[in-house]
Amino acid sequence: MPTTPARLRVVTYNMLLGGQGRGDRIAAVLERLDADVIALQEANDVELLRSLAQRLGMRMVVAKPNDATKLNLAVLSRLPVTRWRAHRHPGRMLRAHLVCEVEVNAPGLARLRIHNVHLAARFGEKNKGEARRLRELEAILGDIERSGSTPHLVLGDFNSLSPGETVAATAFFTRMAELRRRGLLVRGLDGLTVPREAAGDAGLADAWRDAGVEPHLHVAVPRLPWVVGPLTGVLPRSAALDRVLNRFIERWTVPRMLEAGYTDCYRAVHSDGLGYTCATWMPAARIDYVWADAAMAERVTAADVVGDNGRPDPDVLGASDHFPVVADFRL
């Protein structure tokens, strides 16, 4: 008879706009993680997903979004997939909510539901988009409530901060000012900073590398009002100033998950530590999560952000603007 493995490993990973041109690096990262289930966000390139699934020996499930961004959600699973569904909620959610049930067949855990989510960024909206993210989360929690009592995990890119945690705001602004001084950010027609396109320009690609940003990741550099540049360029890196600036960031989504009884797996394992998941070229915020319901929270044994541990990891740094998050559960 086959033996039950000692642990179940899950990973959540935002691939950044489909991962095109970065397939080998993404595959190398995922191969090393040796996960049983992988939740992917911004999984636009279905052919790349098929290639990843084949290379990793996993099954593939894909859900298309509601909006025009083509930011798909996907689940890759080494375990048998018993059922799956994409909840769309048009008009309420920008993207789908992908539910995938896998067969575990471990003592006390026959099946596990994976809820893969990618909440809206929309940081330019009123309340910095947190009101929109909370509306999306309420729809997801409603889906979960109607799904039955199967043990489950909710994981993905929440684009939201936990209370008490700090965004490295001044370090981020200093980094943006540096990119601007190097001529890598220019003023767009809309008055926002625009990263200079490196494709086909070897000199510009080298300039991005010299600045510590892989050329194919420059699309992830955020667009800010051009006038912000001179103001942020004179800000010193300061923990005290970070605390002041962080007071203006709304934090409603993560408290709602805690109120609903979920356990933040990273915080369950690490009572302190930053755990920044974004961006790889300037780690500044923890916005990617693995949440466990009560049944799975009892089983969590490990949780980590992969590649953001003080030791540069070329594959991770070049694969996406997000670090993967991994969590292990006892079987």
Q: Is the pLDDT of residue 70 over 80?
A: no
Instruction: Indicate whether 83 and 202 sit together in one domain.
Output: no
Q: End of a domain among 243, 267, 288? A: 243
Examine the domain organization and report whether 323 and 294 are in the same domain: yes
Lowest mean pLDDT among 3-17, 167-181, 218-232: 218-232
Mean pLDDT value of segment 281-302: 96
Q: Which of 241, 244, 260 is nearest to 252 (CA)?
A: 260
Q: Contact, 97 vs 115, CB < 8 A? A: yes
The answer on 22 and 115 residing in a single domain is yes
- pTM of this prediction? 0.93
Query: What pLDDT does 124 receive?
Result: 66
Average pLDDT over residues 190-195: 87
Using the predicted structure, report yes or no on whether residue 200 has a pLDDT greater than 70.
Answer: yes
Based on the fold, state whether residues 264 and 223 are members of the same structural domain: no
- What range does the domain containing 191 cover? 169-243
Residue matched to tokens 């694969």:
319
When the pLDDT of each residue in the chain is averaged and rounded to a whole number, the result is 91
Is the confidence at residue 84, as pLDDT, over 50? yes
Residue 85 covered by a domain: yes
One domain for residues 182 and 161: no
Q: What CATH number is given to the structural domain containing 154? A: 3.60.10.10
Beta bridge partners of 29: none
143 plus 36 within the same structural domain? yes
Residue 84 placed within a domain: yes
Q: In the chain, which ranges are continuous DSSP H helix?
A: 23-33, 46-56, 130-145, 169-181, 202-210, 228-232, 239-246, 253-259, 265-269, 294-297, 314-319
User: Tokens in use for 35?
Assistant: 């996960």
pLDDT at 1: 41
pLDDT band at residue 4 using 50, 70 and 90 as cut-offs? low
Q: What is the pLDDT of residues 41-63, one digit of tens each?
A: 999 999 999 999 999 999 999 99
Same domain membership, residue 153 and residue 122: yes
Contact 277, 320 (CB under 8 A): no
The lowest-confidence range among 231-240, 281-290, 302-311 is 231-240
pLDDT above 80 for 183:
yes
Tell me the pLDDT band of 238, cut-offs 50, 70 and 90: confident
Kindly tell me if the per-residue pLDDT of 29 is higher than 90. Answer: yes
Q: Is 264 helix (H, G, I), strand (E, B) or coil?
A: strand
Among 243, 267, 285, residue at a domain's last position? 243
Is 1 within the bounds of a domain? Answer: no
Task: Supply the pLDDT for residue 65.
Answer: 79
Give the position of tokens 């049930």.
101
Structural domains of the chain, count: 2
